[in-house]
Amino acid sequence: MTTGLTTTDPTTTDPTTTDLIDLIALDRTAVQESLRVLRIARDADWERPSTCAGWTLRDLVAHMAAQHHGFAAAARGAGDDRTYWIAPDLGGDPFKVYDESVRHVLAAFAEGGVLERGFTLPEIGGTFTGRVAVGFHLLDYVVHSWDVAATLGVRLDLPRPVVEAALDIARRVPKDPDRRGPGAAFAPVLPTPEEASPLDEMLALLGRSPRWRDR
């Protein structure tokens, strides 16, 4: 399994299937679920091995906070400044630092016209419409919410429309072997059971096992 999840391929087209999908609301729900699950974490949990190989929960959450700050900067026209994408020191109160990053990105995404702006995302080397960029962020935080929940051994609670929107985006992620594996954003695709839930299908498409602890 690779470390962290960032974005899809820069050639990906608009990840939504209909303009009726409220990407901002779906993304907000996914991000808020990551907060809900992280509130469960106790002091000793921050050093637990996470679903991302080589990362503890602390490492994973620092990455998540950096992505929030980076996407917030991109929404406001400063995404090409890589200092916004540096993982912060979580210090003695990791939840507080993460909560502040959440407030920052949700405020940026709530600004008028954000889906029509250009987002510069240096990790994939391009500028995208806000609608595409927020779709990337939505996929990240459905998956990262699962990462945190799986690491802590608790249940993820996301509404079906949020998971289905993320699944639609995950189906568009390139599956080429040279884009998967060590050093890439995603691990190779895993087999998907015929009766898989939308969440399990999405995880398998991104190389994550729903039964991570059993592997």
Of all residues in the chain, the percent with pLDDT exceeding 70 is 80
Q: Round to whole Å and give the CA distance between 69 and 41.
A: 22
The residues spanned by each domain of the chain are: 23-214
Contact 158, 54 (CB under 8 A): no
Q: What's the CA gap between 35 and 128, in Å, rounded?
A: 27
Q: Which two tokens stand for residue 190?
A: 């895993």
Statement: residue 169 has pLDDT above 80: yes
Neighbouring CB atoms inside 10 A of 144's CB total 25
pLDDT at residue 208, rounded to an integer: 82
Average pLDDT over residues 124-141: 92
Q: What is the pLDDT of residues 74-131, one digit of tens each?
A: 999 999 999 999 999 999 999 999 999 999 999 999 999 999 999 999 987 799 999 9
Residue 186 has pLDDT above 80, yes or no: no
User: What's the pTM value of the predicted model, to 2 decimals?
Assistant: 0.85
Q: Which CATH architecture has domain 23-214?
A: Up-down Bundle (1.20)
